[in-house]
A and B are shown apart, each in its own frame.
Chain A
Amino acid sequence: MTTWHKWRTIILLFLGSLASIILAISLGAKDISFMTMWTSIFHFDANNNLHQIIYEIRLPRVLGAAFVGMAFAVAGSIIQAVTRNSLADIGILGINGGAVLFVTICFAFYPAISYGWLTFFSFVGATLSTILVFSIGLVARGNLSPLTFTIAGAVIAAFLHAISSGIAIFFDLNRDLAFWYAGGVAGVTWGQLPIFITIVIIAVFVAILLGKQLTIIGAGQEMASSLGINIRFLLFSSMGLVVLLGGAGVAVAGSISFVGLIIPHVARKFVGHDYRWIIPASALLGSTLVVMADLLARIIFAPKELALGILIAFIGVPFFLIVAKKMEGI
């Protein structure tokens, strides 16, 4: 696959992502014409009810979906690269475990806590559990092997989940927790977007810069070391990106599984095994998947809405199978 081919693929994926966003803003439970949608964006009239619907409800929701998809897909790609485990997702490094534990503790001891503080503590939990997984990885005999990481992550995740479950049962919090983690972008507001989009764009950009090193580490640590790559630095910085992307995604849309697992595979089918290309391709594919899934969740039984997670699996799996089958020869 030549570089030109890859550029062409990325441009096509970008156009696909843009088209999905435009489609998702045009369609919805409320019947609004394409022209009205267009004028509401470029000639917004605050007195026009339909313009308000587009601007206040659909735009933030669709943009939220696009960047949430981007965040989870890129986080998944990075984790799959550093653990050299193609079944890895943000759940595997104990990141969710730490976030859930902290949120559980907040609910148990300070039930009146505000949404903002919950988000903050879930970030703190995610960071601490990642540091914990790292320390175990570092203590374990010299080299930081992907296997050590995966095992340390799985063990810590199991341990943290056990503690959370215990607290949740004791304080009867399961319903609160389920609601906090329920995935969905219906509640995304303009207030959340600027900071969230900035975080995602910067993190994705940095991930692309790390792309070359991520590709090399995928070929084995000895090789990477002999090529002069500082493995600890790479692991620290990439895990930092994962916490940032995963944490910000969960804060805005709750836990949305599957995107981070499946999108990197689809991206590899499109652009090969170089992470300088996998990361932008994942970002665009992830955004398209979540935008389309949310669109379907809104319009299949409109005005009733379906759960986003169900739709992501529903269109993600067939899409994945088709891509896997079609590209077999390449």
Chain B
Amino acid sequence: MKKWFLPASFTLLAVFLGACGNETTTNEVTSDSTTEAATEQRIASLSIHLTNDLIALDIIPVGSVVGGSLGDFLPQSAPYLKDAVKYGPAKEVDMEALLVSKPDVIVADEEFATANLADYEDIAPVQLFDLDEGTWRDHLTLLGQNFNKEQKAEQFISDYEKKTEEIKAKLDEQFGENATAMAIRVTNKELRVFSTARPMGPILFEDLDLEPANGIVELGTEEPYQVISKEVIGDFDADIIFVVVNNDEEAQKVYDQLTASSVWQSLEAVQKDQIFVVSDQPWLDYSALGNSMAIDELSNQLKE
């Protein structure tokens, strides 16, 4: 036992330290490569949200990761990605598929890509994005700068602001200027209430300028949502409730169960019919394309 223990632990230590050293150097390479601008590059996207930012800039990546639970491209981006290679989910990127698609550059979400950064670097230069930093506008602007689409990025953002202003005015008119809102999702086992963090927070409380309902700010910003006891749903006292319901039978059934309950029916927002049922996609896709489509969807609902 003891004979091999010492050399083995030294070897382990050496490997560990070596790995640490490697990471620092690749990080430097990364920051260098972001400064290079290019036009018609073959781009591989390792984030479904960055993919949809690219699509908003009229850039179609040669390949992209897919939505984790969906196992496919998000429905809002699928029509653009007919010829794109699927790399699997962001947590377990299919290296072979990535290699075969011969990208000139890889864009990736720091959260998932850091672990395998060295491998990605071997395939193509990597541009890392911290999606928790800033809004999708910042990510879009940065992508625009990196791929010579600055004008398109500006145009997209100003179009978005314009249509958001219209919706905002409609919401004010219909529900008053200080209307409070919350967004929830119900599953078979729990009630989730969305916090002010992405994906639901920014669009509701910044873009649409709704007031967070009582207790929403207290949920913190570390998580997109918190699991909350159903019995306090009335205490949030929201004027408007957004209910995220997936596009499948099961989710619909769970939602029907919720609406049938008298606790739900006693909510003021329900009695005043101030409920917006929205689908998980595009609403939970925090990207330029996702938020823009969500606003369009809301606009249609307000017309009805």
To the question of whether A and B form a pair in one complex, the answer is yes
Taking Cβ atoms with an 8 Å cutoff, the residues of A that contact B are 28-30, 46, 49, 52-53, 56-58, 111-112, 114-115, 171-172, 175-176, 179, 182, 184, 186-187, 189, 254, 298, 302-305
- Give the docked Cα–Cα distance between A189 and B261 (Å): 11
Contacts of B230 in A (CB 8 A): 57, 186
Q: Is the interface of B mostly helix, strand, loop or mixed?
A: mixed
16 CB < 8 A contacts A-B: A29-B229, A30-B235, A46-B262, A56-B261, A57-B263, A58-B231, A112-B248, A115-B250, A175-B68, A175-B69, A187-B188, A302-B232, A303-B229, A303-B235, A304-B219, A305-B229
A302→B229 contact, CB < 8 A:
yes
Given contacts A49-B234, A58-B231, A304-B219, 15 further A-B contacts (CB under 8 A): A28-B231, A30-B231, A46-B262, A52-B261, A112-B248, A114-B253, A115-B253, A172-B89, A186-B230, A187-B187, A187-B188, A303-B215, A303-B232, A303-B235, A305-B227
Contacts of B159 in A (CB 8 A): none
Q: CB-CB contacts of B171-212 with A at 8 A, as 1s and 0s?
A: 000000000000000011111000000000000000000000
Taking Cβ atoms with an 8 Å cutoff, the residues of B that contact A are 68-69, 71, 88-89, 187-191, 215, 219, 226-232, 234-235, 248-250, 253, 257, 261-263, 266
- Give the docked Cα–Cα distance between A319 and B102 (Å): 59
Q: When the two chains form the complex, which single residue of A28, A52, A112, A254 contacts B262, counting CB atoms closer than 8 Å?
A: A52
Q: When the two chains form the complex, which single residue of A29, A49, A254 contacts B266, counting CB atoms closer than 8 Å?
A: A49
- Give the docked Cα–Cα distance between A302 and B262 (Å): 22
Q: A49-B266, A298-B229, A305-B229 are in contact. Are A114 and B249 (CB under 8 A)?
A: yes
A-B contacts at CB below 8 angstroms, number: 79
User: Which residue of the partner chain B has the closest CB to A172?
Assistant: B71
- Give the docked Cα–Cα distance between A52 and B248 (Å): 29
Shortest C-beta distance, A111 to chain B (Å), equals 8
Q: When the two chains form the complex, which single residue of B190, B232, B261 contacts A187, counting CB atoms closer than 8 Å?
A: B190
B229→A171 contact, CB < 8 A:
no
B189→A184 contact, CB < 8 A:
yes
A184→B190 contact, CB < 8 A:
yes
Contacts of A172 in B (CB 8 A): 68, 71, 88-89
User: Which residue of the partner chain A has the closest CB to B266?
Assistant: A49
Shortest C-beta distance, A61 to chain B (Å), equals 9
Contacts of B227 in A (CB 8 A): 186, 304-305
User: Which residue of the partner chain A has the closest CB to B267?
Assistant: A49
Shortest C-beta distance, A320 to chain B (Å), equals 27
B253→A29 contact, CB < 8 A:
no
Most buried by B among A28, A49, A304: A304
Q: When the two chains form the complex, which single residue of A58, A182, A305 contacts B228, counting CB atoms closer than 8 Å?
A: A305
Shortest C-beta distance, B264 to chain A (Å), equals 9
- Give the docked Cα–Cα distance between A254 and B190 (Å): 12
Shortest C-beta distance, B66 to chain A (Å), equals 8
User: Which residue of the partner chain A has the closest CB to B190?
Assistant: A186
A189→B229 contact, CB < 8 A:
no
Q: A30-B231, A304-B226 are in contact. Are A53 and B71 (CB under 8 A)?
A: no
- Give the docked Cα–Cα distance between A69 and B27 (Å): 51
User: Which residue of the partner chain A has the closest CB to B261?
Assistant: A56
- Give the docked Cα–Cα distance between A56 and B262 (Å): 8
- Give the docked Cα–Cα distance between A189 and B189 (Å): 10
* Nearest 5 interchain pairs by C-beta: A29-B229, A187-B189, A30-B231, A303-B232, A172-B71
Contacts of B235 in A (CB 8 A): 30, 303
- Give the docked Cα–Cα distance between A187 and B69 (Å): 21
Contacts of A305 in B (CB 8 A): 190, 227-229
A112→B229 contact, CB < 8 A:
no
